[in-house]
Structure 1
Amino acid sequence: MEPTQPAENLILTQQSPTAEVGDPEDHGVETPDGSDTVVLRLFPCTAEPEADASVSSLQGSSLKHSTTLTNRQRGNEVSALPATLDSLSIHQLAAQGELSQLKEHLRKGDNLINRPDERGFTPLIWASAFGEIETVRFLLEWGADPHILAKERESALSLASMGGYTDIVGLLLERDVDINIYDWNGGTPLLYAVRGNHVKCVEALLARGADLTTEADSGYTPMDLAVALGYRKVQQVIENHILKLFHSNLGPTDPE
């Protein structure tokens, strides 16, 4: 990513998972710039209420995520753009959903559509991580490759599933991305969706054939996570899916 100093910092850094299964969830830590961050890992902890699809719902990974949001990401009607908007990189523009400025950057050429930053995140991966669906749709139409993986095998689908952005998950699945991609954080899109208690996202992934048997590094399957965390709606979705698979495998019974 280009070295800029935007008014709204966008930080997405990783740490190697160190906590054991069942350890309490890490509390927020403070970064040098003073913004609160939360480190979240893919293992059972105290059950949490179902969260809205927001930046704060990036649960279930070892990603360290800034809680500093733009006005528009907070849900405010008026978006206060930084005075130095022109200095933002294409990755920052994609993450913030600044579509008009993003288009201007792409028109300059230089094959920017799939350009990775220092972590291997493309503009599409950033937009997917922050739930910017119009930006995701635009980037896909302009030829962004949804199959590209970042340096630690993070994918646009995994990050969209982590945030519970079901519409973005659907757009990416239409492009035949690997639904069971396993990243070096120890999770698949389905595992991340379960860990985030994103019921509709879990439904969408299961409907498209997500593997229920893949385990996280902790040894937990999607159902194990749902049970351990007390996510009853997610459990119900998984149970219903298993029953459908069971009945479809039985097939019609032969007449006596």
Structure 2
Amino acid sequence: MPVSTKVVTLNQLPPPTLGKITHFSIELQFEEALSVAKATCGNPKAAIKLYLEAKTEKGQWEKAYTGLSKSCTHTGLQPSKLYYYRLKVDHSSVKSDWSDTITAKTLAAPYTGDDLHSAIRRGNITKVKEILDSGDVHPDAQDEKDFSALLAAGLQENVELMELLLEHGADVNRKDAGGKTPLIHAASRDLLETVKWLCEHGAETQTLDKSGMAAIHHAVDGGYVRLVEWMLDNSEKYGFDIEQIEKSGGMTPLNRCANMTPDSKAYELAASLQLRGANMSTKAYNHFTPLLNAIIRRKPKLVEFFLARGADIYEPNENGQTPYDIAQSVGNEQILRAFENRIQQLNMLPKPKRTTASSNELEVS
């Protein structure tokens, strides 16, 4: 005759207990429930199947786990959400009703670099502090442009944010993919207050980016007279160099001014540089002086400036051409007039015979 098996029903199965909780997962443990079930059936080695359900946001119970393990991890959850769980067992000798419901809330999602940069763009100092204090995000976190958080704050000239980032360990000299430091970026945008703050907090002033240019060269290229003047007036304190050579063309700030600075600012900037001791005779890699570059770039006012301050109009280049020869080749009327006036002032030659030459005769490297 078959042996009848008595099935014991547990009315009060212990609910699962909570283990590790993250922003996307909840660990649930069943050891207490299994111990009770095995003790009830009288077999400590019994393989008892567990059923775990979780309540959805719509209020419906759905299967979350079925098996023989002592624990499971419910994954794929939403951050900062409350979840409900219940448990039962089903075995040939022991069954149970559903346990009491337990609740567990996932953690808030960790902050990201995007969160930090978004808060910086909004100027939300409280949020920036909250993110930095969380430890989730490095203070030098980059955005999609490879701008560090400190650089992003500096571009807004937000001193309070820059101070906060520095307190949390931000690097004032962190380079982006192009080798540009926050100081170089600030100088290229005429952000004087940011430049001042960075210098006061240890910015390296002569660092070259991957194009071979330092902060002062970028400031000169933009024609930022007030910024360049501040740099040079504080050169002894911070290390700016009025004769620093950039590596792409071998130009000093004055030579680069003659070559790159917009015409509307070139004269004023050149005057500021010369007043502070810039050398008008220094040659770039192409052997051009500031005067020659001003001629080639057709900047009559700047040419007049260099001539008035004694630039040598007869010093030959490696091809034997003098600035006056090159001025004739360029053929700019105002520049030629400036040379003629200077020659007459020097009383070195009679008024020269005008010649016409194509600007194509001059090979510019």
One-letter code of the match for 1:185?
A: S
Alignment correspondent of 2:31: none
Summarize deviations over 1:156-211 as a string: whole Å, max 9, x none.
11111111112221222222422122222213211222232322211111122222
Q: Does 1:150 align with 2:209?
A: yes
Give the alignment of 1:88-107 within 5 angstroms: 89-107=149-167
Residue 228, structure 1, aligned to residue 288, structure 2: no
User: What is the root-mean-square deviation in Å for CA atoms of aligned residues?
Assistant: 3.3
**Deviating runs (4+, > 4 A) in structure 1?**
3-7, 81-88
Deviation at 1:84, TM superposition (A): 9.4
Q: What TM-score do the two structures reach when normalised by structure 1?
A: 0.56
Cα separation, 1, equivalents of 2:241 and 2:198: 19
Q: Which residue of 1 aligns with 2:356?
A: none
Candidates 178, 202, 208, aligned match of 2:270: 202
User: Does structure 2 retain, via aligned residues, the 8 Å contact 1:162–1:192?
Assistant: yes
Greater relative CO, 1 or 2 (CA 8 Å, sep 6+):
1
User: CA–CA distance in 2 between the matches of 1:145 and 1:199?
Assistant: 28
Map 1:135-214 onto structure 2 (within 5 A).
135-173=194-232, 174-175=234-235, 176-186=239-249, 187-194=251-258, 195-196=260-261, 197=263, 198-214=266-282
Whether 1:109 and 2:169 are equivalent positions in the alignment is: yes
How far the C-alpha of 1:5 sits from its partner, in A, is 11
Structure 2 residue identity aligned to 1:93: A
Partner Cα separation in structure 1 for residue 310 and residue 231 of structure 2: 24
Q: Where is the strand percentage greater, Structure 1 or Structure 2? A: 2
Matches within 5 A, 1:51-62: none
Query: Does structure 1 retain, via aligned residues, the 8 Å contact 2:172–2:182?
Result: yes
Q: Distance in 2 between matches of 1:94 and 1:192?
A: 26
Once the two structures are aligned, what percentage of the paired residues are identical?
A: 26
Judging changes above 3 Å, is the alpha-carbon distance between structure 1 residues 172 and 130 closer, same or farther for their aligned structure 2 residues?
A: same
Structure 2 unaligned runs (5+)?
1-112, 129-142, 312-365
* Matched-pair contact (CA < 8 Å) for 1:96–1:127: no
Is the alpha carbon distance of 1:151 and 1:240 closer, same or farther for their aligned partners in structure 2, counting shifts above 3 Å?
same
Residue matched to 1:133: 192
CA contact (8 A) 1:131 1:160 kept: yes
Cα distance between partner residues in 1 of 2:156 and 2:248: 24
Give the whole-Å Cα distance in 1 for the aligned partners of 2:115 and 2:282.
Answer: 40
Alpha carbons of structure 1 residues 167 and 84: separation in structure 2 relative to 1, 3 Å: closer
Q: For 1:37-48, what aligned pairs fall within 5 Å after superposition?
A: none
**C-alpha distance in 2 between matches for 1:108 and 1:201:** 38
CA displacement 1:13-50 (0-9 Å, x = unmatched):
xxxxxxxxxxxxxxxxxxxxxxxxxxxxxxxxxxxxxx
Corresponding residue pairs, total: 170
Partner SS for 1:224: helix
Task: Indicate if the aligned counterparts of 1:95 and 1:129 stay in contact, CA closer than 8 A.
Answer: no
- Shift in CA distance, 201/83, structure 1 to aligned 2, threshold 3 Å: same
Is the Cα–Cα contact under 8 Å of residues 121 and 153 in structure 2 kept in the other structure?
no
Higher Cα Rg, which structure: 2
For residue 152 of structure 1, report the CA deviation from its aligned partner: 4.2
Q: Measure, in 2, the Cα distance between the counterparts of 1:210 and 1:5.
A: 46
Q: After the TM superposition, which of the residue ranges 94-103 and 230-239 deviates more from structure 2?
A: 94-103
Contact map agreement 1:163 1:193 (CA 8 A) in 2: no
Native 8 Å contact 1:148 1:155 kept in 2: yes
Q: Distance in 1 between matches of 2:172 and 2:279?
A: 31
TM-score normalised by structure 2 residue count: 0.41
